[in-house]
Amino acid sequence: MQPRTPLLLCVLLSQVLLLTSAEDLDCTPGFQQKVFHINQPAQFIEDQAVLNLTFSDCEGNSKVHYEVSSPYFKVNHDGSLVALKNVTAVGKTLFVHARSPHAEDMAELVIVGGKDIQGSLQDIFKFARTSPVPRQKRSIVVSPILIPENQRQPFPRDVGKRKHNPIKSGLLLNEAITADLNPCLTITMI
């Protein structure tokens, strides 16, 4: 037996099992078509159906919720994609995500002749990669507090200052390390 023979047998067996189990199922949950092609019109007109999507959760399609990647479109309960307002450019692709308690799937809508929108996600990621300034996490600048573990008295020692600003509705406390005021609060170290 060659080294590839067991692997080949496993692949063939899995394909046979997959085909036999697919014959047992009458319904496949999700979109019946995963990729749709739409020609870019001069303008997407408000409340006019652009495309009919077919989604099935194999349980009667109760409580199906659709989400569209563009804020200019929505999907009605019957599966029709409509524009929310008159739009001329929406980009090259849209994604529709359908979710029900029994199934979840995503379909891609490719707009043939569509152009990338300025400030799209690709532009943002491209700028992040080509930016000369490296990204940094924010840091809090605090002056170092140098108190050795075996330091002698006097205790308690003042290590910070606290200032407060009274307001009519109550007392708002702003804690800050400041050098221009004497400490208002003594912090006791135990």
What is the reported pTM?
A: 0.48
Question: Can you give the pLDDT at residue 172?
Answer: 45
Instruction: Set out the domains of the chain in order of their start, with CATH numbers.
Output: 28-117 (2.60.40.60), 149-190 (no CATH)
Q: What angle do CA 173, 176, 177 make, to 5 degrees?
A: 150
User: 23 pLDDT band (50/70/90 cuts)?
Assistant: very low
Structure tokens at 49: 């159906």
Structure tokens at 20: 């036999």
Beta carbons of 161 and 176 less than 8 angstroms apart: yes
Maximum Cα–Cα distance across the chain: 88
Cis before 156? omega within 30 = yes
Whether 32 shows a pLDDT value over 60: the answer reads: yes
d(CA 101, CA 22): 22
Whether 24 shows a pLDDT value over 50: the answer reads: no
